[in-house]
Structure 1
């Protein structure tokens, strides 16, 4: 299984932040995780609160560990809160099931990681993540 390269991860971060600036979003934080849930790249814009790393990571971590986007996780949490509560317990409370956690796929459709963006509304976070993913020539599932 191919992974997300450091070069691609940096492109995702840079372009996601650029999209946030273009849309005049609040200061963003962006993390890229590999398929094992390990941090490949992270940046926090000036003015973003320090706790944003954990939020961005939680959004991405849930996506990669469950194989579903943050939007899908949120829908699942609304339908079956007990399931998402149990899953979050399994993962030590590290999952944040909201938009902005985007599953990262290569051109073949294989999961190679996830992107987590936080700082503005969850929907805007997802828009920024998708912009970074597309700029890196990869596919995202928001």
Structure 2
């Protein structure tokens, strides 16, 4: 598999939203991107603000375009803010370097996409993203 399938993307979203419900989180938005940064699937729960799409997308987009999850991006931003500022500028300001953006690796270990979750705390968003990815039988990299 060189890209995430629509079926897997839909499973990730369903499981991430289910986990958010189980944890009584605020309404979530979840996006799944293919390895080229294009949207494969998106869902916004009732009550989630419409601007959450851009945040979820930015979390996932940063992960797939930089090849590192939100945790790693945040650490890099804290250690070398100039790099993340430059990278974000190169991507038109579309990167949101915080937890909740998670790389998706396929069976062979290659990156096949990324997931971005937003709506609650970044750490809770990441928990939901990881849960969704694992529910689809894929490997998350935060």
TM-score range with shorter-chain normalisation? over 0.9
Q: What is the TM-score with the length of structure 2 in the denominator?
A: 0.99
- The root-mean-square deviation of aligned C-alpha atoms, in Å, is 0.6
**Which residue pairs with 1:32 in the alignment?**
32
Unaligned runs of 5+ in 1: none
User: Which deviations, in whole Å up to 9, do the C-alpha atoms of 1:25-51 show, x marking residues without a partner?
Assistant: 000000000000000000000000000
* Structure 2 counterpart SS, 1:117: strand
**1:7 counterpart SS class:** helix
Matched residues in 2 for 1:9 and 1:136: separation? Answer: 8
1:43-122 to structure 2, matched below 5 A, reads 43-122=43-122
Q: TM-score, normalised by structure 1?
A: 0.99
Give every structure 1 segment of 4 or more consecutive aligned residues whose post-TM-superposition deviation is greater than 4 Å: none
| Inter-partner Cα distance in structure 1 for 2:112 and 2:127 | 19
Q: How many corresponding residue pairs?
A: 142
Q: Which residue of 1 aligns with 2:4?
A: 4
Q: Distance in 2 between matches of 1:107 and 1:8?
A: 13
SS of corresponding position for 1:114: strand
After TM superposition, give the deviation of residue 62 of structure 1 in Å: 0.2
| Separation (CA, whole Å) in 2 of partners of 1:7 and 1:114 | 15
* Structure 1 SS opposite 2:113: strand
Question: Residues 116-135 of structure 1: matches in 2 within 5 Å?
Answer: 116-135=116-135
